[in-house]
Amino acid sequence: MQEIHWFKIMLDSFWPFLSAGLCFTVPLSLLSFVLGLGLGFLAALARLFGGPIASAIARFYVWIVRGTPLLVQLFLIFFGLPSIGIVLDAFPAALIGFSVNMGAYLSEILRAAISSIPKGQWEAAQSIGMNWSQTMRRTILPQAMRVATPPLGNSFISLVKDTSLAAAITVPELFQSAQRIAAVTYEPLILYTEAALIYLAFSSVLSALQNRLELRLERNLVTAEAPK
């Protein structure tokens, strides 16, 4: 009998969970990652090429963000900023929090990936007359992305799971809907297991995409089966 009861609870909660996931968890993760990538790229460029002032600003940003808990950052933005007149809705507050947080971590990944490209690649590009941005776009970044893809995939998957923290600042995402339904059904074991499985499904899709992207970026390195 118990099993049928559990099955019914799972079935009833599945659509609310999935729609919370698709309406909040997925867009929050995607947007934060894209914005974080942009911020991280700027910070990485500032560190690598920006001169002392820009580099110091980027270093400071990474230091602050990496050195403080993400949950505290979210609380600061959503509950703290209204005290100085900045009132944000839950979703934009979470988006800002996650993007800024991601940016700091991604900047280190991108910085390492860009620095890993040998100096000879810069020189070869410059010797054929490319300017800085052409060199970056055509020669350095395509190679750096191959190096950066595995750690970027790591960060993205972490981010997807970390968006559950947005529940704490009232974003009605996947984990929050699990909390809500658990509070009325008194079935935390089954509901949190179900929520965990949906996170696992999202992460698995990302892992698979990462693998495909890696294969694509490494197509020039396959020597064993190369046709000619």
Partner 1 sequence: MIKLSGIRKSFGNLEVLKGIDLTIREGTVTVLIGPSGGGKSTLLRCINLLELPQAGSCSVGDMSVSFAPNKHPRSDEILRLRRKTGMIFQAFNLFPHRTALRNITESLTVVLGWDESKAKKRGMELLDKVGLADKADAYPSTLSGGQQQRVAIARALAYSPEVLLCDEPTSALDPELAAEVSATLKAIAAEKVTMAIATHDFRFAASIAEKVVFLEQGVIVESGEPRELFLNPRNERTAAFVASSGISFANMLKI
Q: Site residues (CB under 8 A) for partner 1?
A: 118, 120-121, 123-131, 134, 138-139, 142-143, 146, 217, 219-221, 223, 226, 228
**Which residue's CB is nearer to partner 1, number 96 or number 110?**
110
**Which residue's CB is nearer to partner 1, number 69 or number 142?**
142
- Report in angstroms how near the CB of residue 129 gets to partner 1 at its nearest: 4
Q: How far is CA 199 from the centre of its chain?
A: 14
DSSP state letter for 174: H
- Report in angstroms how near the CB of residue 214 gets to partner 1 at its nearest: 13
Q: In which region does residue 186 sit, left (phi positive, over 0), alpha (psi from -120 to 50) or beta (all else)?
A: left
How many CB atoms lie under 10 A from the CB of residue 24?
A: 23
**Which residue's CB is nearer to partner 1, number 104 or number 147?**
147
Is 228 buried (19+), middle (13-18) or exposed (0-12) by CB count in 10 A?
exposed
Task: Please give the structure tokens belonging to residue 171.
Answer: 């974003």
The string over 70-103, giving b where at least 16 C-beta atoms fall within 10 Å of a residue's C-beta and e elsewhere, is beebbbebbeeeeeeeeebebbebbbbbbbbbbb
Contact call for residues 187 and 7 (beta carbons, < 8 A): no
Task: Please give the structure tokens belonging to residue 8.
Answer: 């019914």
- Report in angstroms how near the CB of residue 192 gets to partner 1 at its nearest: 44
Contact call for residues 125 and 138 (beta carbons, < 8 A): yes
- Report in angstroms how near the CB of residue 33 gets to partner 1 at its nearest: 24
- Report in angstroms how near the CB of residue 122 gets to partner 1 at its nearest: 9
Q: At what angle do helices 188-217 and 141-162 cross, to 10 degrees?
A: 180
**Which residue's CB is nearer to partner 1, number 35 or number 130?**
130
- Report in angstroms how near the CB of residue 212 gets to partner 1 at its nearest: 17
